[in-house]
Structure 1
Amino acid sequence: MLVAIDDADGVRTLTLNRPEALNAFNEALYDATTVALLEADADPSVAVVVLTGTGRAFSAGNDLVEMQARITDPDFASGEHGFPGMIEALTALRKPLILAVNGLGVGIGATILGYADLVFMSSTARLKCPFTSLGVAPEAASSYLLPRLIGRQNAAWMLLSSEWVGAEEALRMGLAWKVCEPDDLLAEADRHAKVLASRSIPSLMAVKQTIVDPTRDEIAAAAKREYAQFEVLLGGIANAEALAEFADRKSD
């Protein structure tokens, strides 16, 4: 099961479960996560959604093997929902979303934080937006969401530098709400999720709607700009060299 699902007291916990690949998103995981988000949104018994990862990573981002296949394989088959479908599901999610970042978060494993209502990070977790090191553009409307969430300069550093940001730095920036010891992370996220889940679900949804609705058009516009830039850069010289270097490391 690529996404493990657990329900308790109105809280649905979705756990990315591809630990052998550090929970990197391939087409199958994008599809499974999208379906899980849509089902949680539609289920009247679910008040709050918690998203976390199995193993030492939250998510290592896009599966670079599949990224290379997308460039080189004319028969590459996209998933039913894929990356765009998951972003649309995150944008449309009506229930509060809590992230429990248990380990490294790279690419979409970092930019997905822009869709969370509350972010809990393990003290040992780290985040990276590796777009410039991969020779590509931002993704997931991060060029809009991150400046809005953490300010232009913090966002510029994350999106331009491809450097790691630790949990305490993420907390200082406002990218994380609470930093927890690794063994306490899920319990703390769940404790807060259950506080929210004890409230009226229609009221929770109304609050989230009033917070998120003003941003939905901007998210869609930013994603469209990013897709256009990504399409230009994907397979370009810098991207091809970065993917070839990754493939060489993987084969060693």
Structure 2
Amino acid sequence: MSDLLLREDRDRVRTLTLNRPDQLNAFNSALYAEVAEALYAAAEDPGVAVVVLTGAGRAFSAGQDLLEMAELAEGESSDLFGADYGFIKLVKALEALDKPLVLAINGIGLGIGLTIIGYADLVLMSTSARLKTPFTSLGVAPEAASSYLLPRLVGRQEAAWILLSSEWVGAEDALRMGLVWRLAEPDALAAEAHQVAATLAKQPISSLRAVKATMTAPLREGAAAARERENALFAELMGGPANAEALAAFAEGRTPDFTKLPPGV
């Protein structure tokens, strides 16, 4: 494991910390792969009962590394959804994780920094953190079955606002919606998340796995179909006029202007 991802084991809890603080823990291909491999390893380790995922610095995760996204947009969009691409590996690892996953959202979460919630069992969030799915502001489609999982978590209209608006969701609203389970003050988040995870970890791993399996089984078919729909639309929109304007605006440090795009785009 490289320094992109930190690991700590205590009380049968494995804490994984995204460690690209200067890039706000944005996921590039390497970090996607590291986290995916770490989740598989935790699932196979008989000494690990619960996994906690958090971020170093002031962000949980700023989502996809947009510099890498721009490079991929210039190439074959299928690279984003091939079996070897890190994002796909991460989503498969999240779905495959058969032990409880606790998120400790310590700061801003964008894109996968929010949609990963659909695969978590318990989510704690700092009172100073904010969440956003920037898909429409990037001119692309949803990801990670969020179009299927979020409505089941927070209701259709709250999910529609999150996915359509590209607006920030503050901690209090996230709690009200049911997007997260509990809030904690920034300095107390890590300790509270560990206490929650350690409470679960006192139980037999076989029972923890059984409970998670029975809760997630009814969602698997629908989530898989949603990912296929999302990936097809994402690939279609990737590199298109709206996405090109969004990435150009990011590179130039300005707000994208989608009103000048051709009608219907």
Q: What TM-score does the superposition give when structure 1 sets the normalisation length?
A: 0.96
Where in structure 1 are there 5+ consecutive unaligned residues?
none
Asked if the contact 2:79–2:85 (Cα under 8 Å) also holds between the matched residues in 1, the reply is: no
Q: Give the match for residue 65 of structure 1.
A: 67
- From 195, 200, 206, give the equivalent of 1:202: 206
- SS at 1:51's partner residue? strand
Q: Give the match for residue 31 of structure 1.
A: 33
Answering whether residue 128 of structure 2 is matched by residue 124 of structure 1, we say yes
Cα distance in 2 between the residues matched to 1:14 and 1:157? 30
Q: Give the match for residue 195 of structure 2.
A: 191
Query: 1:217 is aligned with what amino acid?
Result: E
Query: 1:159 is aligned with what amino acid?
Result: L
Query: 1:180 is aligned with what amino acid?
Result: A
- From 97, 100, 105, give the equivalent of 2:104: 100
Deviation of residue 77 (structure 1)? 7.5
- From 136, 158, 161, give the equivalent of 1:157: 161
Cα distance in 1 between the residues matched to 2:212 and 2:196? 16
Deviation of residue 81 (structure 1)? 4.8
Cα distance in 2 between the residues matched to 1:95 and 1:66? 31
Q: Give the match for residue 43 of structure 1.
A: 45
Cα distance in 2 between the residues matched to 1:193 and 1:186? 11
Cα distance in 1 between the residues matched to 2:230 and 2:149? 12
Asked if the contact 1:103–1:125 (Cα under 8 Å) also holds between the matched residues in 2, the reply is: yes
Per mean C-alpha deviation after superposition, the further-off stretch among 240-249 and 152-161 is 240-249
Q: Give the match for residue 174 of structure 2.
A: 170
- SS at 1:23's partner residue? coil
Q: Percent identity?
A: 63
CA RMSD of aligned residues (A): 1.5
Query: 2:158 is aligned with what amino acid?
Result: N
- From 201, 224, 227, give the equivalent of 2:228: 224
Deviation sequence 1:13-59 (CA, Å, 0-9, x none) = 00000111100000000000000001001111100000000000000
Q: Give the match for residue 218 of structure 2.
A: 214
Deviation sequence 1:105-151 (CA, Å, 0-9, x none) = 00010111111100000000000000000000000100000001000
Asked if the contact 1:31–1:80 (Cα under 8 Å) also holds between the matched residues in 2, the reply is: no
Answering whether residue 8 of structure 2 is matched by residue 2 of structure 1, we say no
Query: 1:53 is aligned with what amino acid?
Result: G
Deviation of residue 219 (structure 1)? 1.1
Q: What TM-score does the superposition give when structure 2 sets the normalisation length?
A: 0.91
Moved over 4 A (4+): 76-81
Q: Give the match for residue 184 of structure 2.
A: 180
Where in structure 2 are there 5+ consecutive unaligned residues?
255-265
Cα distance in 2 between the residues matched to 1:87 and 1:204? 21
Deviation of residue 73 (structure 1)? 4.5
- SS at 1:189's partner residue? helix
Cα distance in 2 between the residues matched to 1:234 and 1:81? 15
